[in-house]
Structure 1
Amino acid sequence: MRKWHRWLSVMFGVFLLWIAVTGVLSHVAALWPTGGAPQAAAPAGFVCPETMVCRPKPAADGPRAWVGFFHHLHSGEEFGPLGTAIAVLSGFAMIFFAFSGLWLYVRMWLHRKDRSLKPGWFWK
């Protein structure tokens, strides 16, 4: 398992870093405060239901205007079907790393007595 964990980390490390960075940028851009005036009111003929409060959406200016672009980079859509496939494979790799890393840690933790290590959750 350790061999696969190391080999796949070399293969997918760059893609996982890409997904992490673009995901963070997407969320930061979405949470960025708006400073502009609200956009125009609803189109003609639209009636707000009585049970709802309808407000115009704030204008997407500054970093908020980049949310869609960051999402396309994050999902791989910007690079076509190959980019989307790499993003999906990277997601599977992330799941594998989570489970295999936990499995490796539990195995090491269970076998610490065999190596004369003191008990505890973490060791040197």
Structure 2
Amino acid sequence: MRKWHRWLAVFAGVFIVWIAATGMVGQIISLAGGEGHDAPPAAVAAPVASGTPGISYPIPNGTDGSPVPAKPHRKQQDLYHFIIDLHSGAYFGMFGKVISAIIGAALLFFAISGMWMYLNMFRKRKTIGRAGVFWK
């Protein structure tokens, strides 16, 4: 188990660092308010009711195209979506998504095998009378 854990970490490490870094940057942008989520329905309905010009957007499963006010374009939204596409692998197409899924499975393996190895070391130490949770 230890050998698999070590050798897979050599190959997966670069991708894990990439995913962790882009995820962290995405969270920072999100905390700064740069996600660019859609406005609540009341915020969209008010300008429409007042006659503010909008764009026509066909509503899925709807009966008509309702005017929806165009919201200003923000570069921070583009940055957020770009970072999230890098994080998920979507920026690199199907290949990136597959790599992202494989790295997710590798992280799961590392977590389980790491806990398993720790428990085995703990049990061995316990049998010789040195049952500390942490050791040098």
What TM-score, normalized to structure 2?
Answer: 0.69
Instruction: Provide runs of 4+ in structure 1 moved above 3 Å.
Output: 38-47, 58-65
* C-alpha distance in 2 between matches for 1:84 and 1:65: 20
Instruction: Tell me the residue number matched to 1:111.
Output: 124
Q: Which stretch has the larger CA shift, 23-32 or 98-107?
A: 23-32
- CA deviations over 1:31-80 (Å, ceiling 9, x no partner): 2146xxx9984547469xxxxxxxx9x86645443111011100111111
* C-alpha distance in 2 between matches for 1:60 and 1:31: 19
Task: Structure 2: state its 5+ residue gaps.
Answer: 49-53, 57-65
Instruction: Tell me the residue number matched to 2:15.
Output: 15
* C-alpha distance in 1 between matches for 2:75 and 2:112: 39
What TM-score, normalized to structure 1?
Answer: 0.75
- Which is strand-richer, 1 or 2? 2
2:86 aligns with one of 73, 76, 88: 73
Task: Structure 1: state its 5+ residue gaps.
Answer: 48-55
Aligned residues: 112
Cα gap change, 1:60/1:109 in structure 2, threshold over 3 Å: closer, same or farther? farther
Task: Say if 1:30 and 1:64, in contact at 8 Å, map to a contact too.
Answer: no
Kindly indicate whether residue 79 of structure 2 is the aligned counterpart of residue 92 of structure 1.
Answer: no
Larger radius of gyration: 2
Give 1:44-55 correspondences, 5 Å limit: 45=66
Identity score, percent: 41
